[in-house]
Amino acid sequence: MVRLITHNLLACHAKDCNTNNFPLAFKDVQLEIREAEFNPEFLRGFLPKLEWTALVDTAKQLGDTSLPVEQPEMLDDEFLKNLHHVLLEIHVEEGSMTCPNCGHVYPILNGIPNMLLAEHEIG
Amino acid sequence: MAPRTLQSATVEGDPGVYEDQNVHMIYEEIASHFSSTRYKPWPIIADFLASLTTGWVGLDSGTGNGKYLPLPADRPGEVWTIGLDRSKNLLDIARRAGSTGIVREVVVGNVLDNPWRPGIFDYAISIATIHHLATHERRCSAVKRLLESVSPNQGRVLIYVWAIEQDELSKRKVVEDQDPTPTIGKDVVVPWVLSTQQTAVTEKCATPRVYNRYYHMFAKGELVGLVNEAARELGLQVEPKAESTTKNIRGVEVVQDGWERSNYYVELKLWQT
Ligand SMILES: [Zn+2]
């Protein structure tokens, strides 16, 4: 499963790839929407750890434009519900993620991303 | 069942290749049978997960069948634990862990890698995983990866490994010739017997298949020693945060360590000034 909650934490870890290695770019994705229970308290706690611009841009690539470009100061219910949907209800089932720096491709199969590297690619 | 004596293991050749053959390939094969025997969370781990702050996100490094991903069960969705494992087959089970039908977040990866933004997690757990790494250096690296994966400010870490010291309920007994107070653990293989009914129907073997998994059984004090070594290599002081005004000091506090049901555990908390 790769939802944007996880995507926002992942970074390329190939040998010598330490800068501009986030966010990984989705390619050829198949999406599935699954409803998840809304938990505003979780979202409030998690919000400071998000890389906001990466989240907004990635959501846009996946066809969701509900999030504002700037993180709002007032966290109203409508905003939190949109954030909930983007982070926890959009599942990338198939496709891949490409590192913006070194171009390494991490495949996603049956909803599970594969972050393993070959021995010579490990830093 | 009478206690069995475990066979010693000798790690030969490249340790990564050795682990592939003596750990990873086996879990891939026995995944569903293994998972059916692993359901009860150990109390110290359940307590640790119950104490997490709402809004926290954590890493379960070597999640296996994902039995800790649904915890704490009485506060669903208040924290999110992301499972990492080498075994794709175990992760297929882990993504459905818990009886609620909630889908979990899981990632295929190696516990010696850090495919994450540095220090992004609030907590990390490593349960029954580091003892599958075949050298001291690799076990130390795995601890370093855990320390690097959590927030330098307040990150919490819980590590569990198999102990030489086994409780009387355990079916297993360590190698006979053991030193009564060893300081270094023992490398052993632990058999996993898969009877014919549990293997794939296409398989025509009449006798049960035995898979010998590699384990490093930890000696008393070895896990805390490993934490000290890993912390030192990362420039972290191993002590509680002092009431000091000196800036830019980073450290890790050993919150608790001990033995529970044939395992050693250590709980850590990072801090910086
Ligand atoms: Zn890269």
**At residue A61, what are phi and psi to the nearest 5 degrees?**
-60, -30
Chain A residues with CB-CB distance to B57 below 8 A = 5, 9, 46, 49
Q: What is the pLDDT of residue B169?
A: 59
The pair of structure tokens assigned to A50 is 């998000």
Q: What is the ipTM of this complex?
A: 0.96
Chain A residues with CB-CB distance to B150 below 8 A = none
Give the pLDDT confidence of A98-112 residue by residue, as tens digits.
999 999 999 999 999
Class of domain B4-272: alpha beta
Architecture of domain A2-104: Single Sheet (2.20)
Q: What is the pLDDT of residue B2?
A: 40
**Domain spans of chain A?**
2-104
User: Are the Cβ atoms of A9 and B76 closer than 8 angstroms?
Assistant: no
User: Are the Cβ atoms of B78 and A2 closer than 8 angstroms?
Assistant: no
Give the pLDDT confidence of A34-57 residue by residue, as tens digits.
999 999 999 999 999 999 999 999
Give dist(CA B50, CA B187) in Å, integer. 33
**Domain spans of chain B?**
4-272
Mark the ranges of chain B whose per-residue pLDDT is less than 50: 1-2, 198-199, 201-202
Chain B residues with CB-CB distance to A51 below 8 A = 117
Average pLDDT over residues A71-79: 94
Question: Which of A122, A95, A99 is CA-nearest to residue A109?
Answer: A95
The pair of structure tokens assigned to B171 is 């079916």
What amino acid occupies position B217?
Answer: M
User: Are the Cβ atoms of B77 and A2 closer than 8 angstroms?
Assistant: no
Give dist(CA B72, CA B47) in Å, integer. 9
For residue B105, the chain A residue with the least C-alpha distance is A1
**Does A5 have pLDDT greater than 80?**
yes
Handedness of CA B66, B60, A9, A35 (dihedral sign): positive
Give dist(CA B57, CA B39) in Å, integer. 22
Between positions 44 and 63 of A, the ones with CB within 8 A of B are: 44-47, 49, 51
User: Which spans in B110-153 are helix H?
Assistant: 136-149
More reliable by pLDDT, A69 or B242:
A69
DSSP A121: G
**Does A116 have pLDDT greater than 60?**
yes
Chain A residues with CB-CB distance to B112 below 8 A = 122
Q: What is the pLDDT of residue A59?
A: 98
Q: What is the pLDDT of residue B166?
A: 81
